[in-house]
Amino acid sequence: MSRNLLILGAAPSLGELRDTLIRLEDTIIFALIERSQFKQNRDIYEEGKMSFKDGHRGSFLSWFLKEVECVHARVRRYQSPDEYAFTDNLPEPILPPLDYPPVLVDPKQININDEILDVYINTVVPGITDTGDDSNYGSSATRDIECLQALSRRIHYGKFVAESKFQDPCTHDEYVRHIRSKNRAKLMELLTNARVEEQLLKRLKAKAIIYGQDLSTASIDGNGHTNGAANGATNGTSILPAGASTSEERVKTRVDYDLVVSLYRDYVIPLTKEVEVEYLLHRLDCE
Ligand SMILES: O=C(O)C(=O)C[C@]1(C(=O)O)C=C[C@@H](O)C=C1
pLDDT at site 243: 47
> Which pLDDT tens digit goes with each residue over 97-147?
999 988 999 878 899 999 999 999 999 999 999 999 999 999 999 999 999
The DSSP 8-state label assigned to residue 46 in this structure reads: S
pLDDT at site 228: 47
| ipTM of predicted complex | 0.99
- Whether 280 and 172 have beta carbons less than 8 Å apart is answered as no
Ligand 1 centroid distance, CA of 39 (Å): 33
The region that residue 236 occupies, defined by phi over 0 for left and psi between -120 and 50 for alpha, beta otherwise, is left
Ligand 1 centroid distance, CA of 153 (Å): 14
- Whether 93 and 79 have beta carbons less than 8 Å apart is answered as yes
Per-domain residue ranges for the chain? 5-212+253-281
pLDDT at site 235: 40
Atom of ligand 1 at shortest range from CA of 196: 15
Work out whether strand 219-220 and strand 226-227 pair parallel, antiparallel, or are unpaired.
Answer: antiparallel
Average pLDDT for 154-161 = 97
- Which of the four pLDDT bands, split at 50, 70 and 90, describes residue 221? confident
Residue 172 or residue 8, greater confidence: 172
> Which pLDDT tens digit goes with each residue over 162-197?
999 999 999 999 999 999 999 999 999 999 999 999
- Whether 166 and 280 have beta carbons less than 8 Å apart is answered as yes
Catalytic residues: 18, 154, 165, 193, 197, 272, 276
Closest to 146 in 3D by CA, of 87, 63, 65, 75: 65
Atom of ligand 1 at shortest range from CA of 192: 14
CATH number for the domain whose boundaries are 5-212+253-281:
1.10.590.10
CA 269 to chain centroid? 10
- Widest Cα–Cα separation across the chain: 62
Pocket probe for ligand 1: among 17, 152, 195, 196, the residue whose CB has the most ligand atoms within 8 Å is 196
Alpha helices in the chain (DSSP H): 5-8, 14-36, 60-74, 113-119, 125-128, 137-156, 158-167, 172-180, 184-191, 194-211, 257-263, 269-281
